[in-house]
Amino acid sequence: MKKRLYPRLAWQGIRKNGKIYFPYLAACIFVVMVYYLIGFLSSDPVIREMEGGAQMQIILSLGTGVMGIFSVIFLFYTNSFLMKRRKKELGLYHVLGMDRKNIAVVLIWENLMTAGISLGGGILGGILFSKLGQLAMIYLLGGKADFSFSINSDILIRTLKTYGVIFLLLLAYRILQIFRTRPLDLLKSESLGERPPRANWLSAILGAVLLGAAYGMAVTVKEPVTIIWLFFVAVLMVIGATYLLFMAGSVTLCKVLKKNKKYYYKTNHFVSLSSMMFRMKRNGAGLASICILSTMVLVMVSGTVSLFLGTEDSLRSRYPRNLVVNTPSLEDGVVSQVNQIVEGALEKYGVREENVLHYRQLVMSGMAEGNQMILDYANKGEFSYTEYENIRQIMVVPVEDYNQIMGTDETLDRQEVLVCNTKTDWQENYQELILEGLGTWKIKDQVEFVDNGIDAMQIIPTTYLFVSDVSVMEEMYQSYPKAGEQFEFWNYYGTDLDCSDETQSLIAQEISAGLQSLGEQDPAFSATTVECVGAERMDFYSTYAGLFFLGILLGIVFLLGMVLIMYYKQVSEGYEDQSRFEILQKVGMTEREIRKSVNSQVLTVFFMPLIWAGIHTAFAFPMIYRLLQLFSLHNMWLLIGITGGCFLGFGLVYVLMYLLTSKSYYKIVRGGNFSSRRQRG
């Protein structure tokens, strides 16, 4: 009989607390399902065998790690809401004769049931939706669907292991709480710690300073190398500042509002503000979590959608022309033979060149220090990561080629240069440029230049130096002692082709075959690179489609987490305020006044996370845009439009959640008493 008692109590505990348990179970089922689904798609042989499928699966494989980490944080956080509501019930068990070991057994059964329902429902849902996910991936890759159905046993076992460990950790945490809490405290758990908090000005000021510093980084930093690591630093600073401001700053806000007599001494504000002051420090963490999750959804969805919709722009930025041939030589004989091979391939397939982009360049690298470029920076030994941000790729181009491409008529003296910088504003305020070992050069002007694709695929910025003629480039090469090790001549040729991707690929293969035969006699031919948009298009689309799919899926997961935290926050506060409003009702407060007080309380804090999420996203926008530039996306207006659209859509969902959760809160706080009063009336 005793053996049946524990599972029955466990099931009754779940069923009777369905208002808080069923959303938790639904969330558990969903995260398990998404974990299996991402794992299945990242290892599915059908997707791997498709063109571009392997690249997409590399992107998706990152999602399993993100889901695992998020699940631990999210489930532990929501579990705290469950335990808060259950402690009083568990304390009652203790009063009725159960010791801590008996209560632990009830929790074990409860955890087994929760884990069984979550794992069973999640894996079943993952298996059922795996085919739909596979079809979505095939559609994004432009492949052909089949009607096969499979279950990945390895991913299934990995899912069981991962979430089995998580549920074991949750069980250990629950039992530890029971053994560390006195029975009397369990019974009073819902009212413990309810004393007016002090306004912590130091924490609020620290949060404001952290947030200001993070915003400053996002707006001012422009170096690509710096952005990569500062982005994560800024994210951590924003998270810390958000928690400090919501936990300490919200208390401070309540104190300030209380001192405002015109605001405070109104029926709806007086009651709502008095209730909030007792719990703002504790519930500030919940509001901060909602804000952070909201920001993550906005940034992730807007970024990945922008990349996917801007794939063609990124592709053209990486490959400015359909066909690009780079020859590591400026010798007329070598260049003419390469041109003959290209012309022969185009003639063979009946395609003419269009929008030809051709220029000669001397390529080197250096480290910027003020208006000086250190070319032999490798001899400095090891340098710090912050120094690495000063590395530049330098491309010296004759002004003749610049004029031909840009349609200008610039002239330069032998010691004059035109400067063009990408990804940085270096040299913007200098009149002279010192090249180590190559003298001092007068900067005539800062100019613009076309993308060459090489700069687009690199993290480090590029500095173009346009000189008077090719002889200056040759003098640079001959006068620099280590030119053979550090300098390279390249002849860049690019052209658009009015033909299909398949024909473009065949032309590129024809040119590569011709260069390979010549390369046996001359290394310059074997080192010549041939790039073709038609051959690379699918790799681009598969990579960005993988990011898009993963971004949408994780965005939905984070949105679910935010919604559940919002729901639990409203429900828990509703139960806390129920007794207060019953007392106020007995002393004459009407239903209308209670409803106004409820709306005042909810509105005062509910939209704070949405507003701050919008502010976070707005300040993060410059840094996000520069990060996307590293993926060759330069369409700012596309990112602005999608980010704005995401915020409006997210705002509508947020308002909907406000209407639903405020209704749940109101039903709880009125406790059915108003309907009984109407009947008596």
Position 241 pLDDT exceeds 60: yes
Q: Are strands 391-398 and 462-467 parallel, antiparallel or unpaired?
A: parallel
Position 190 pLDDT exceeds 60: no
Distance CA 646, CA 310 (A): 16
Distance CA 250, CA 255 (A): 9
Q: Which residue type occupies 238?
A: V
pLDDT at position 673: 47
What is the arithmetic mean of pLDDT over 653-673?
A: 72
Mean pLDDT highest for which of 97-101, 259-263, 549-553?
549-553
pLDDT at position 302: 92
pLDDT at position 404: 93
- 170-174, 305-309, 367-371, 630-634: least confident range: 630-634
Greatest Cα pair distance in the chain? 105
What is the arithmetic mean of pLDDT over 42-48?
A: 82
Position 109 pLDDT exceeds 60: yes
Tokens 């500042």, located at residue: 241
Of the two residues 515 and 388, the one the predictor is more confident about is 515
Distance CA 392, CA 426 (A): 10
Contact 390, 365 (CB under 8 A): no
Of the two residues 85 and 342, the one the predictor is more confident about is 342
Position 491 pLDDT exceeds 90: yes
How many percent of the chain have pLDDT more than 70?
A: 79
Show the tokens assigned to 15. 């069923």
Distance CA 470, CA 473 (A): 5
pLDDT at position 645: 93
Strands, E, within 130-175: which ranges?
none
Tokens 């040119």, located at residue: 511
What is the arithmetic mean of pLDDT over 446-474?
A: 86
- 372-376, 407-411, 495-499: least confident range: 372-376
pLDDT at position 168: 92
Position 359 pLDDT exceeds 90: yes
Distance CA 577, CA 585 (A): 12
pLDDT at position 647: 93
Residue-by-residue DSSP string for 474-507:
HHHHHHSTTHHHH-EEEEEEEEEE-S-HHHHHHH
What is the arithmetic mean of pLDDT over 240-265?
A: 70
List, in order, residues 6 or more apart from 431 with CB less than 8 Å away: 442, 443
pLDDT at position 139: 76
* H or E element that contains 360: strand 353-369
What is the arithmetic mean of pLDDT over 351-370?
A: 90
What is the arithmetic mean of pLDDT over 202-227?
A: 83
Contact 630, 459 (CB under 8 A): yes
pLDDT at position 325: 93
Of the two residues 391 and 143, the one the predictor is more confident about is 391
Position 235 pLDDT exceeds 80: yes
pLDDT at position 598: 63
Contact 459, 629 (CB under 8 A): no
- Asked whether the CA dihedral 663, 667, 669, 674 is positive or negative, the reply is positive
What is the arithmetic mean of pLDDT over 169-191?
A: 69
pLDDT at position 679: 42
Distance CA 554, CA 561 (A): 10
Q: Are strands 353-369 and 462-467 parallel, antiparallel or unpaired?
A: unpaired
pLDDT at position 472: 92
Position 143 pLDDT exceeds 70: no
Give pLDDT tens digits for 27-38: 889 889 989 998
The mean predicted confidence, pLDDT, of the chain is: 80
List residues bridging with 418 in a β-sheet: 445, 466
Q: Which residue type occupies 334?
A: V
pLDDT band (50, 70, 90) for residue 205? confident
Q: What is the distance in angstroms between the CA of the first residue and the CA of the last residue of the chain?
A: 49
Of the two residues 377 and 111, the one the predictor is more confident about is 111
Show the tokens assigned to 187. 């019974």
What is the arithmetic mean of pLDDT over 294-310?
A: 89
Contact 263, 257 (CB under 8 A): yes
What is the arithmetic mean of pLDDT over 144-165?
A: 84
* H or E element that contains 31: helix 18-43
pLDDT at position 281: 54
How many percent of the chain have pLDDT more than 90?
A: 23
Residue 527 CB-half CA count within 13 A: 12
pLDDT band (50, 70, 90) for residue 669? low
Distance CA 622, CA 290 (A): 23
Give pLDDT tens digits for 492-537: 999 999 899 889 999 999 999 988 888 777 777 878 889 898 888 8
- 80-94, 111-125, 351-365, 408-422: least confident range: 80-94
pLDDT band (50, 70, 90) for residue 275? low
Position 146 pLDDT exceeds 90: no
Distance CA 373, CA 437 (A): 10
pLDDT at position 585: 64
DSSP conformation class of 197: P
Show the tokens assigned to 447. 């100019």
DSSP conformation class of 358: E
What is the arithmetic mean of pLDDT over 310-323?
A: 86
